[in-house]
A and B are shown apart, each in its own frame.
Chain A
Amino acid sequence: MLFEFDAEQRLWQDTVRKALLKECPPALVRGIVDDGADAAPLWRVCTDLGWTELTDPADMVELAIVLEELGRVTDPTPFLATMSRFAPLAPGFDDPRQSGTAVHTGVTARPADGGWLLEGTARHVLDGDRADRLAVVTGAGVFVVPATEVTAVRVAAFDPVLHLAEVTFPGVRVTEWSRTTADPERARHLAVTGMALTMVGACRRALEMVLDHVRVRRQFDAPIGSFQAVQHKAADMHVAVERARALAYFAALTIAENDPRRRLAASMAKAAAGECQALVFRNAVQLFGAMGHTWENDLQFAVKRAKAGELMLGGAAEHRALIAEECRATDL
């Protein structure tokens, strides 16, 4: 196994980073949270740059790079929901200009007039209040529904940049034409891996901010970053981020190569990202001291995004249980 970016992937990473440095600076996220600024222009940048076209499994590592980098800047757009949740459930419904999300539970499909009637309410739908389309997983299959057919109400989350919604299907009539051929199992691996990559990016950002802080913050006539107690916490964060990042890209690679280990790999990625965020949140806030506690400090965006990820699509403990079962059947 050659687990390292090739020259093209390194170039791609560099391109993505530079684009986000320009198009999604901390001031944009701050403006969205405090002043209600609009994330739509950034979404258009993402589509203009072709990032929403990375839906082919062969592009998975490139998509993974975008997801990690967007996680790093607390992505305020519906990119994650579109690419890791909607797209894998809606092959054949590609439209790189439109956003999307997925609904996995709470909606039933009842046969009606040669089609189906979708009814029910789904909670905590990522970007459910602003996605253009929804891929709805039901007992009768996966259906793609335009957002205009449902009612959605945004729910405030502790991550102030995150969009979560309660989505009600008041009896949406669908036909065979809107049913997809997606494999929900594979789609789930991608959703889990995408979330893990986002969390890894957010954790990396938190670590970078901590490092910047402890290099300049002085106490006892020395930068606090020169004290061992601080250094060792930072080193632990780095090891946790490297571990989680390796497992996240391994999961992406198993999806790209349609490798049978991808189910196990996705759970390892999510569990490692979950363990990483717990340590990073704790150490980052601790090392920032009282400053880390303030609304003005952008650290909150990174650690909250990482923590929010842990609470979606199964936490670390749940995925570890899956790993323990799965790894007996899979030869790593």
Chain B
Amino acid sequence: MRLTFDTDVETFRAEFAAFLEANLPTEAEAAERPRSSAHIPAWARRWQRLQFDQGWLLPGNPPEFGGRRASVIQQYVHLEELSRRRICHSYNPQGVGIIAASLLSFGTDEQKHRWAVPVLRAEITAALGMSEPGAGSDLASLRTRAERDGDHFVVNGQKVWTSGAHDADVLLTFVRTDPDAPKHKGISVLLIPTDTPGVTRRPFASYTAADDKDFNEVFFEDVRVPAGHLVGPLNQGWRVASGSLGHERTLMWLGEAERMARAVGDFRPATPLQKDWYATLVMDLQALRLLGSAALARAARGEQDVPALSVLKVLGSEGSQRALERALEAAGPDGLDMSATTAPYHHMGFDDDCRGWFNRYARSFGGTIAGGTSEIQRGIIAERVLGLPRR
């Protein structure tokens, strides 16, 4: 147990800081703003490509995939430096963090170079097609069908909550390929280019604002997908789902810690009651960092404990939600104003992070709903961490 890192980790940190110092786009360059989670303005594409080419995009990857074979601890330090400066390394976070990562874990060499590398180099963007109207927390009950027809699959069905789909070039889509198998065993994963005939995307607004359109419904009507677009073995899609989401979780808590750190940084408590709330946030944030770094140390030793990461998700997502709820309450009538800002504008960040407290609070439900709701996480903690019996 120590409070500091080894010097090689600090050297790595300094090297990355120097890269940022020398290469960060200026505010003037970054004038065009991203409009969805799969829309990357030209300047941000150049920025992401530069990170890829110099091995700073995903430092844990080998050089051919935008990294430098960094250790888990070094990857943590990399994200810590980005978060401290409020720098976003990709405006297509799911493309880089989940879709490219899944392809690198489960794809063929051809798929890695044809799809993962362009996503990582921001030549194309990607969105994740998992949820359906009837398959949310119970993802394995998904019904979008893919039937083999010669050297193609023919896809019919519907996805929803497909963030950024209207701006994405390709969808990593979970489909049912064996309707007769038990539900976890008949799922496969297909890469579906969004310009394929029969794909219809319909963005719709979130409750934060009528023009906040990142969510999509995606309809598939006799969509013909080449068989070579199958990711991983046929009917083994559930492994891809747990793998791609699972391996991201080791570092996913950092996103919540970042959100919480911003809330702590931007919230200025005035009354004793607000100070009392504030202290809770400071504790939540510190506890999340401590527990997260312990999980990281375990991962660095090669001990992956996915159920234990549910503790981090509950603590982080609910902690930042509570933080934002209280910051909104503390704002009083100023919190009503749609055009209010709550943090200085930062051209390398996400614009939503400096909007009014209501906007920030309303968005915090992404944390407690997406990627396994808090209720699902509590079930995982109860059954898989604490060993309580299943129903």
**A contact residues vs B (CB 8 Å cutoff):** 1-6, 9, 61, 211, 214-215, 222-223, 225-228, 230-232, 234-236, 238-239, 242-244, 246-247, 249-250, 253-254, 257, 259, 268, 271-272, 275, 317, 319-321, 323-325, 327, 332
Contact = CB atoms under 8 A, between A and B. Distances in A.
A171 to B, nearest CB: 42
Which of the listed residues B4, B272, B286, B375 has the most CB atoms from chain A within 10 Å of its own CB? B286
A4 to B, nearest CB: 4
Interface residues of B, number: 43
B331 interface: no
A232 B290 CA distance: 23
Nearest to B284: A243
Nearest to B4: A1
B293 A242 contact: no
B369 interface: no
Contact of B388 (A5, A214, A244, A332): A214
Interface SS majority for chain A: helix
Given A222-B391, A235-B379, A324-B278, 9 more contacts: A2-B5, A3-B291, A215-B388, A228-B375, A231-B382, A235-B382, A247-B283, A323-B279, A324-B282
B279 A321 contact: yes
Contact of A234 (B276, B282, B287, B386): B386
A244 B2 CA distance: 18
B98 to A, nearest CB: 25
Given A61-B1, A211-B386, A211-B387, A250 B286 contact: yes
B291 A231 contact: no
Contacts of B276: 317, 320-321, 324
B3 A1 contact: yes
A173 to B, nearest CB: 44
Contacts of B4: 1
B379 A231 contact: yes
A215 B382 CA distance: 11
Nearest to B73: A2
B388 A234 contact: yes
B275 interface: yes
Contact of B269 (A1, A222, A243, A324): A324
Given A2-B1, A235-B382, A246 B291 contact: yes
B1 A4 contact: yes
Nearest to A332: B286
B388 A226 contact: yes
